[in-house]
Amino acid sequence: MSEFVSEPIVPLQGTFDVQAMGRGEPGLPSGFTWRGACYDVVEGLAQWKDSSREGSRAQGELYLRRHYYKLRMSDGATWTVYFTRQPSPGGSPKQRWFLYEIDRGYTC
């Protein structure tokens, strides 16, 4: 069962995928800090992108908005995280990584 989270997470410093960054993609780090605890990425399971048109008209230019990743983490849970291409208005320009949901692999 998945748990919706939608909270910012902090990438572990110095662990970014520089090859991906060289291609203009987010450099998925090897781990994150969330709620004061560190979690390592054990395996990347999937990735996809989200785009939308700029402005209210359907003819607006198409922009890439987010990069999503489904990851198996060191605690055994599966995380869905995303990276925003642009910082949110009024938000920190450095805060780009967010934990979207967690699947802990059990049901009640």
Q: What is the pLDDT of residue 69?
A: 95
What gap in Å lies between CA 73 and CA 39, rounded to an integer? 6
Q: Which domain holds residue 43?
A: 2-103
pTM as predicted? 0.81
Asked if residue 17 belongs to a domain, the reply is yes
Q: How many domains does the chain contain in total?
A: 1
Is the predicted pLDDT of residue 87 greater than 80, yes or no? no
- pLDDT tens digit string along 21-78? 888 788 899 999 999 999 999 999 999 988 877 766 667 677 778 899 999 999 999 9
Give strand pairing partners of 103.
2, 78
Asked if residue 108 belongs to a domain, the reply is no
In the Cβ-directed half-sphere of 90, how many Cα atoms lie within 13 Å? 0
